[in-house]
């Protein structure tokens, strides 16, 4: 099947929210003609999440990819790099905090054991 690029160009839009009802219907019709069903559309993935940069500059990872998002502009390479670095740094910080917490719990358990051992040794000294 050959797609009519002029029709495709007419339906092009920066975001799906900007499409008119006629454009949405045309895209749906083109998908049906190409044999693409609702279940086949999109990229197959193991998991997915949405990365959002808020107007105040915060980077958020949203596990619900169907969350409603209104953007002021399309993302660019700088956005990808910045958000990627923030996500990696945050993941490292969370993992470090988790490991530190586990180590503190282990140290606390060792101190309790040591106190019990000392108490037992003191009780045996008669």
Taking only the tens place, the pLDDT of each residue in 44-81 is 788 888 999 999 999 998 888 888 888 999 999 999 99
The dihedral region occupied by 27, where left means phi > 0, alpha psi between -120 and 50, and beta the remainder, is alpha
Domain definitions of the chain by residue range: 1-42, 44-126
Report yes or no: 1 and 34 within 8 Å, Cβ to Cβ: yes
pLDDT in tens, 28-40: 787 777 776 666 5
Q: What is the pTM assigned to this prediction?
A: 0.50
Q: Does the pLDDT value for residue 121 go beyond 70?
A: yes
| The pLDDT of residue 114 | 92
Unique residue bearing structure tokens 């929210």? 17
Interatomic CA distance for residues 95 and 33, integer angstroms: 49
């Amino acid at each position: 099947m050959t797609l009519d690029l002029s029709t495709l160009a007419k339906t092009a839009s920066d975001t799906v929210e900007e499409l008119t009802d006629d454009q949405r219907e045309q895209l749906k019709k083109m998908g049906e003609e190409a044999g693409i069903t609702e279940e086949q559309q999109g990229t197959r993935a193991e998991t997915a999440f949405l990365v959002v940069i808020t107007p105040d500059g915060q980077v958020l990872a949203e596990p619900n990819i169907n969350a409603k998002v209104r953007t002021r502009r399309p993302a660019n390479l700088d956005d990808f790099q910045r958000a990627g670095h923030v996500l990696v740094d945050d993941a490292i910080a969370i993992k470090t905090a988790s490991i530190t917490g586990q180590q503190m719990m282990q140290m606390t358990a060792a101190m309790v054991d040591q106190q019990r051992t000392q108490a037992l040794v003191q009780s045996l000294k008669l």
